[in-house]
Structure 1
């Protein structure tokens, strides 16, 4: 079996390719080499662990959760990689103010916006931009929107995903306007790229769809392993939190707004 067909080499080479692409496009090539790993964890898409490995040298770890590869769009999965790369930037750049582990401060948030990702504890506009638990959404017209499109246009893909992908509806981090932007500059005959932009990696290929409206989100299905898996839901208006199975449909009693999964 050649290296090109060995699953482990293929999977990690793809993640390294994406890391190198964003390092060049979003960070001017300043980020260090590190170990990119696949690590499962409840209610997390990925994490950064400073100086986690020792051997020939000390290196940090950037982990991606494969549980979510099959049910999220490629752009969403890659936005998690870029999110964690901002943590890499903050920790490793010598002249950048550091913050405590796991926290998302204003320095991190400002860099997120610079690379084209808006910090939000709810994953939608209006959320808090700093805090212990933080997600993001893609900024329309931002650098990430361009960088991820160029990566997918180059033929990039994720070859392996968790076959147990089932379950809850989670909002995509690319709203309908961004999807329309990408499709507008894509050749109608490039069915492979259109598929990457509009479908999840899963063989079931649930199509990303959104209703009309500038801020409408695209709903996709992420994986849920076992009926006991729980997710954190947040009200986008008041910040009310609740824990429930990811497939639950929760509504805030005070704001009468659907709760969204934080992640």
Structure 2
């Protein structure tokens, strides 16, 4: 069973210890190259969040359903990144700011759920930008559908060579806070094998890292305590007041963003 704090994306409910932290990255860095030339119009368009970074904290209390020795409650800080889409706009300075901000969060575990690149010639820059995170905590990843469009195994090899661990179709187990944490991965429906069954695992926490939230039924069927996913971008079309109106998911906008318990 999972007991979670429901949290929508609206600013009044975003939490980052206290209210959600938001950054105008151009103002914070003083680097106008952050946005790239095509971003000039997007940046001034009313309501557009281009080159703005919002850091949210979502708190979930997870009570695993499997039988295991009881331990006192522990807090595990997981940094979850997704859908960076290196495409040249915004520029590399934007992503460097994202990583510097992420490095301040004192994470125990860092997870990336795919869609790293949209231009293969930017793979070097993408890997180089993310590499510093590996010095802070264990870093695991799966790839997404945009990575699949290119030589995705080269993307995988390059990330692994920089210190990240691929969990696609496999499980990595870490000892963190005196707890055994199992991280499984799914790159379905685009590629890869079925996630690993963990229903009989004796780990204290099992997490499925998936690019798409559509893998929620698989996560439940295979016995995972928690699913972390990206792909939906909080809704790829979001209207003021109305909220998300389009999301690339079999569930529509139901899983566009937030914390959820049980079936969608």
TM > 0.5 fold call: no
- Identify, as 1 or 2, the structure richer in strand: 2
- Identify, as 1 or 2, the structure richer in helix: 1
TM-score category, normalised to shorter length: under 0.3
**TM-score normalised by structure 2 residue count:** 0.27
